[in-house]
């Protein structure tokens, strides 16, 4: 029941809001003066059924706009203040207020009325002496209306001063020569918005703008200023007229787009009424974003008092520099027309207030002071004073009187106003070459205050330095505002890989040797000399030196293998010495076997020299000790193979006799090993191995290894051993069919094959420059493999026979087997 009554009350009161124009007079407020100024203010926010208008009938307006009403009162109050001052001595300023109801068409109708002489607007060839009743015009709030009026006023060069129309096109003095404004152009607002977004790292935003001259121009300016810096996730446009037949449908579509957007920041270049409708949709769905307000609604108090306004999220915006008009608050508390003046809007407001047509908070005049921010009306004060100072210069006023003619053509006042430079409330104002005030903007934040919002100025944007400055007491904002980016920041160590959209990118790790130490860097930096980085590192570091440390796993394995090898060598030596008189040991040539064990011992010792940090002495000793030791061992095998070869060359006694002259075991051993000694001597003298840092061109490790000095010496040393091994293999292979009991050819062939195979595998790794760090490991392993090949082929089988088959080790048994084999041989 209460709800029904309330609805009836609201419907009834809405009808009282409707303002029908009086056909006899379009002026809602009037005061006659010596010089009159027109005031254009959309005190009503819409024309009813404008889209259905098919006849040029009177306009019917609705929606009483408190802010516009307050701004018109500020202009009237300032005119009355000047009339009570000595700024224009002897001159009374008058005014005439016309309400265009936010319609460009009705604005032109107002102009026709205001400029009419004797009830009609004359059509002349020359308007130089055209003297309309109004000499200047203040307005309008909306750029679309100001542009429409400026086109007509430019014909007569009637000065037009706007307090809120910020469209950049109005700075074009060729198209709008009589237009001026006491605010900067939207070019600077767009720049300020871009600077604000850059300051808070917002490069991915949604944009919604109105389908009017102001919205389109502001949007275009923003896109131009933001090119390459800020990108729009989406761009949506809303009809400017509130009575548009599909306005609610468009609002819902835009609201859905905002909800689906990944952008956290929304820029709204809209009139307040459209923002209100959009916020209602956001509140219903608990959509929380960061909102950036254009100057059209950034200080709109009614929006700040919306129900659940705190649910929409943080709101920032720029407002034109605001101020307090002295005495204006007291004027509003005692609101009534000046004696001799008429103001139908005051009467309408009081009637609406008394009938509760406005919100409950505005049911008394004092409450209006809390509903609308009085600072919003300060620009009217500056505009009227600009008009007054231009008039003072034109009329040649001094402190006591004005000598000029008050019935002047408006173009003369235009010239005078363009050059004004005056101080008001401690600030200096003047128009630049484009007819704009070029001071700057206040950066405001809508601060939560219980269930509503209040304006808090948190910074400034000054045109002279074109930089957003956050006041010191609000520096906490820099670290408490969410970022809105198309792509997540690229961490240090990665670089941006730009996509087709300038604000979007993927992150790629920097390659080795390059780094980034900050987020979102466009390219990787080169590491300084003697420093390096791994892939994806955020800094460069000094190289780490690495070598085969004694405590590392592989060196321990090498030491264990070497120790086992030396134990086997020592065990074999003991067994061979103890059982030197057995036929098996004698057949194996105990002397040569002992020299072989000596060579193996030296070769095993060389493996130990590969462990630890290399130095000059170790690098030389590694190759020399191994070369001599293993050459001694292979030389012994060669002597044994040669002996076996000679013993069974009975088929060719002549050659056998000649070759026997060469068989001098100890001399052969000395000569063969001495050859390697000469090779090593030349190598060590002319270009010996030395410790060197090797870097495989990747990674942070540089390996301290022994450089061979010259590949020739290294190759000749190993080639010499390989040659001896091949000769051993050849001789053993030739004598492979001799009786087994006297035949070592099998073990010689097999041991030499092991050696040759191991070192053939070593060559590719050695040649590969990327395996620098592995060379010493592979060489040590190859030495062990060759040594163990000889031990397992030449010594362990004989030790086994000696220890576990002594009963078989008698000469009689062996000769018996030999005789049996000889009888079985074909004659």
Instruction: Give Cα separations from 467 to 184, 265, 319 (angstroms).
Output: 15, 20, 15
For the chain, what is the mean pLDDT? Answer: 84
pLDDT digits (tens, 9 = 90+) for 528-548: 988 889 999 989 998 888 888
What are the residues facing 498 on neighbouring strands? 505
Summarize pLDDT for 668-702 with one digit per residue, the tens. Answer: 889 999 999 999 999 988 888 888 887 777 778 88
What is the per-residue pLDDT for 604?
93
pLDDT score at 16: 38
Give pLDDT, residue 694: 77
| pLDDT higher than 90, residue 824 | no
> pLDDT tens digit string along 317-337?
988 877 888 999 899 888 889
Q: For the CA atoms of 279, 281, 286, 288, what is the dihedral angle to 10 degrees? A: -40
DSSP state string for 522-553 = SSPEEPPTTEE--TT-SS-EEPEEE---TTSH
CA-closest candidate to residue 599, choices 567, 637, 564, 561: 637
3-state secondary structure 279-291: HHHHHHCCCCCEE
Say whether pLDDT at 567 is over 90: yes
For residue 364, what pLDDT is reported? 35
CA distance 130 to 112: 14
Structure tokens at 286: 């608990």
What average pLDDT does the segment 357-373 reach? 56
* Weakest mean pLDDT among 52-66, 79-93, 416-430: 52-66
Q: Which of 10-14, 380-384, 766-770, 800-804 has the highest mean pLDDT?
A: 380-384
Rounded to the nearest 10 degrees, how much is the dihedral formed by the CA atoms of 782, 788, 794, 797? Answer: -150
Cα 429 to Cα 182: distance, rounded to the nearest angstrom:
8
**Across residues 40-65, what is the average pLDDT?**
85
Distance CA(76)–CA(30), nearest Å, equals: 10
Higher pLDDT, 744 or 771: 744
Confidence of residue 359 (pLDDT cuts 50, 70, 90): low
Q: What is each CA distance from 759 to 52, 414, 751, 782, in whole angstroms?
A: 100, 102, 13, 7
> Angle, to 10 degrees, between the axis of helix 344-354 and the axis of helix 2-17?
170
pLDDT of residue 23: 39
State yes or no: pLDDT of 779 exceeds 50. yes
Contacting residues for 482 by C-beta, under 8 A, at least 6 apart: 264, 290
CA distance 587 to 804: 17
Q: Which residue has the higher pLDDT, 510 or 663?
A: 510
Torsional sign, CA 733, 734, 737, 742: negative
Which is more confidently placed, 362 or 604? Answer: 604
Q: What are the residue ranges of helices labelled H in 688-810?
A: 711-734, 745-767, 775-790, 796-804
How far apart are alpha carbons 677 and 424 in whole angstroms?
105
Query: What distance in Å separates the CA atoms of residue 16 and residue 353, rounded to the nearest whole number?
Result: 11
Q: What are phi and psi of 20, to 5 degrees?
A: -100, 135
DSSP 51: G
Q: Is the pLDDT of residue 480 over 90?
A: no
Cβ distance 441 to 319 under 8 Å? yes
Mean pLDDT of 615-634: 90
Residue 821 pLDDT: 45
Asked if omega into 243 is within 30° of 0 (cis), the reply is: no
What's the number of CA atoms in the CB half-sphere (13 Å) around residue 782? Answer: 23
Residue 108 has pLDDT above 90, yes or no: yes
Which residues have C-beta within 8 Å of that of residue 640, sequence separation ≥ 6?
Answer: 588, 589, 592, 744, 748
Kindly report, residue by residue over 177-229, the tens digit of the pLDDT: 999 999 988 788 888 999 999 888 898 999 999 988 788 888 888 888 888 78
Name the pLDDT band for 612 (thresholds 50, 70, 90). confident
Question: Residue 38: beta bridge partners?
Answer: 96, 137
Residue 529 burial by Cβ neighbours in a 10 Å radius (0-12, 13-18, 19+): exposed
Query: Residue 305 and residue 454: Cα distance in Å, rounded?
Result: 9
- DSSP 3-state of 357: coil
pLDDT at residue 510, rounded to an integer: 93
The pLDDT score that the predictor gives to residue 505 is 87
259 has pLDDT over 90: yes
Three-class DSSP category at 31: strand
Structure confidence at residue 811 as a pLDDT band (50, 70, 90): very low
Residue whose structure tokens are 């010089």: 35
Residue that the structure tokens 């047509």 belong to: 357
**Taking a C-beta distance cutoff of 8 angstroms, is the pair 357, 17 a contact?**
yes
Per-residue pLDDT tens digits for 2-39? 333 343 344 333 433 344 444 346 889 999 999 999 99
According to the model, what pLDDT value does residue 173 have?
Answer: 92
8 A C-beta contact, residue 613 and residue 704 = yes
Cβ count within 10 A of residue 693: 14
pLDDT of residue 508: 92
pLDDT at 807 over 70: no
Helix (H) or strand (E) run with residue 254 in it: helix 247-260
Q: Using H for helix, E for strand and C for coil, what is the string for 571-603?
A: HHHHHHHHCCCCHHHHHCCHHHHHHHHHHHHHH
Residue 279 has what pLDDT? 94
Q: Are 101 and 108 in contact (CB under 8 A)?
A: no
Confidence band of 426 (pLDDT split at 50, 70, 90): confident
pLDDT band at residue 714 using 50, 70 and 90 as cut-offs: confident
% residues pLDDT > 70 (the chain):
89
Structural contact between residues 123 and 117, judged by C-beta atoms closer than 8 angstroms: no
Q: Is 436 helix (H, G, I), strand (E, B) or coil?
A: strand
pLDDT of residue 349: 86
Instruction: Give the rounded percent of residues in the chain with a pLDDT score beyond 90.
Output: 38
Q: By 3-state DSSP, what share of the chain in percent is helix, strand and coil, each rounded to 5?
A: 50, 20, 35
Q: For residues 446 and 766, which has the higher predicted lDDT (pLDDT)? A: 446
Distances in whole angstroms, Cα of residue 36 to Cα of each of 105, 134, 248, 381: 23, 5, 42, 16
Whether the pLDDT of residue 148 is over 90: the answer is: yes
651 — pLDDT class (breaks 50, 70, 90): low
**Long-range contacts: 370-374, Cβ < 8 Å, 24+?**
371/66, 371/301, 371/302, 371/305, 372/66, 372/67, 372/70, 372/301, 372/302, 373/299, 373/301, 373/322, 373/455, 374/70, 374/324, 374/325, 374/328, 374/329, 374/332
Angle subtended by helix axes 665-687 and 590-608, to nearest 10: 20
Which is higher by pLDDT, 1 or 801? 801
Of the listed ranges 505-519, 561-575, 772-786, the least confidently predicted one is 772-786
> Which range is most confident: 41-45, 576-580, 822-826?
41-45
């Amino acid at each position: 029941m209460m709800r029904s009554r309330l609805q009836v009350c609201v419907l009834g009161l809405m009808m009282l809001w409707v303002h029908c124009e009086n056909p006899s007079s379009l002026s809602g407020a009037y005061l006659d003066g010596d010089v009159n100024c027109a005031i254009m203010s959309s005190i009503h926010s819409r024309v009813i059924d404008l889209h259905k208008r098919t006849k040029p009938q009177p306009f019917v307006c609705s929606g009483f706009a408190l802010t516009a009403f307050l701004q018109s009162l500020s202009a009237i109050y300032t005119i009355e203040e000047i009339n009570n001052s000595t700024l224009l001595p002897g001159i009374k300023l008058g005014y005439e207020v016309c309400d265009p109801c936010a319609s460009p068409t009705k604005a032109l109708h107002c102009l026709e009325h205001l400029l009419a002489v004797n009830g009609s607007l004359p059509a002349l060839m020359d308007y130089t002496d055209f003297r309309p009743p109004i000499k200047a015009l203040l307005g309008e709030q909306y750029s679309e209306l100001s542009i429409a009026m400026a086109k007509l006023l430019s014909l007569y060069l009637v000065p037009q001063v706007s307090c809120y129309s910020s469209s950049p096109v109005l700075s074009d003095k060729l198209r709008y020569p009589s237009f001026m404004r006491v605010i900067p152009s939207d070019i600077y607002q767009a720049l300020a918005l871009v600077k604000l977004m850059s300051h808070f790292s917002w490069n991915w935003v949604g944009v919604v703008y109105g389908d009017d001259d102001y919205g389109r121009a502001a949007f275009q300016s923003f896109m131009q200023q933001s090119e390459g810096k800020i990108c729009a996730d989406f761009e949506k446009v809303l009809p400017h007229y509130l009575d548009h037949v599909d306005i609610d449908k468009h609002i819902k579509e835009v609201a859905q787009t905002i909800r689906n957007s990944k952008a956290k920041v929304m820029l709204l270049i809209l009139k307040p009424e459209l923002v209100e409708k959009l916020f209602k949709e956001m509140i219903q769905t608990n959509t929380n974003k960061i909102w950036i307000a254009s100057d059209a609604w950034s200080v709109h108090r009614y929006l700040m008092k919306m129900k659940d306004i705190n649910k929409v999220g943080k709101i920032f915006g720029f407002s034109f520099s605001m101020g307090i008009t002295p005495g204006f608050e007291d004027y509003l508390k005692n609101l009534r027309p000046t004696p001799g003046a008429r103001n139908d809007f005051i009467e309408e407001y009081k009637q609406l207030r008394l009938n509760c047509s406005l919100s409950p908070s505005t049911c008394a005049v004092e409450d209006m002071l809390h509903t609308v921010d009085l600072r919003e009306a300060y620009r009217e004060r500056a505009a009227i004073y600009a008009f007054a100072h231009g008039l003072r210069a034109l009329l040649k006023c001094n402190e006591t009187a004005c000598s000029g003619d008050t019935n002047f053509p408006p173009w003369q006042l235009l010239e005078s106003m363009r050059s004004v430079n005056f101080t008001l409330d401690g600030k200096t104002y003047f128009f630049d070459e484009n007819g704009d005030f070029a001071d700057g903007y206040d950066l405001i934040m809508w601060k939560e205050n219980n269930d509503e919002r209040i304006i808090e100025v948190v910074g400034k944007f000054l045109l002279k330095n074109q930089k957003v400055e956050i006041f010191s007491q609000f520096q906490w904002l820099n670290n408490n505002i969410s970022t809105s980016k198309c792509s997540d920041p690229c961490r240090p160590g990665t670089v941006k890989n730009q996509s087709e959209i300038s604000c979007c990118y993927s992150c790629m790790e920097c390659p080795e040797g390059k780094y980034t130490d900050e987020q979102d860097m466009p390219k990787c930096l080169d590491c300084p000399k003697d420093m390096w980085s791994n892939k994806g590192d955020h800094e460069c570091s000094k190289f780490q030196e690495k070598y085969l440390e004694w405590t590392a796993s592989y060196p321990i394995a090498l030491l264990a293998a070497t120790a086992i090898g030396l134990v086997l060598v020592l065990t074999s030596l003991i067994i061979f010495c103890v059982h030197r008189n057995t036929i098996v040991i004698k057949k194996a040539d105990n002397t040569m076997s002992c020299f072989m064990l000596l060579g193996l011992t030296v070769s095993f010792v060389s493996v130990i020299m590969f462990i630890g940090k290399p130095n000059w002495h170790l690098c030389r000793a590694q190759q020399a000790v191994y070369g001599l030791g293993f050459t001694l061992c292979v030389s012994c095998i060669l002597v044994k193979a040669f002996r076996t070869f000679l013993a069974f060359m009975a088929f060719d006694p002549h050659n056998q006799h000649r070759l026997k002259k060469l068989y001098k075991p100890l001399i052969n051993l000395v000569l063969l090993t001495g050859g390697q000694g000469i090779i090593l001597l030349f190598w060590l003298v002319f270009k010996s191995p030395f410790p060197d840092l090797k870097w495989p061109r990747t990674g942070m490790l540089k390996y301290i290894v022994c450089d061979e000095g010259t590949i020739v010496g290294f190759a000749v040393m190993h080639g010499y051993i390989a040659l001896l091994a091949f000769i051993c293999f050849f001789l053993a292979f030739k004598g492979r069919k001799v009786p087994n009991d006297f035949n070592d050819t099998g073990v010689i062939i097999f041991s030499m094959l092991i050696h040759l195979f191991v070192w053939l595998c070593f060559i590719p790794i050695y040649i590969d420059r990327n395996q620098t760090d592995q060379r010493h490991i592979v060489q040590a392993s190859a030495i062990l493999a060759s040594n163990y090949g000889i031990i397992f082929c030449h010594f362990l089988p004989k030790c086994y026979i000696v220890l576990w088959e002594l009963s078989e080790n008698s000469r009689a048994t062996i000769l018996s087997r030999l005789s049996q084999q000889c009888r079985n041989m074909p004659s």
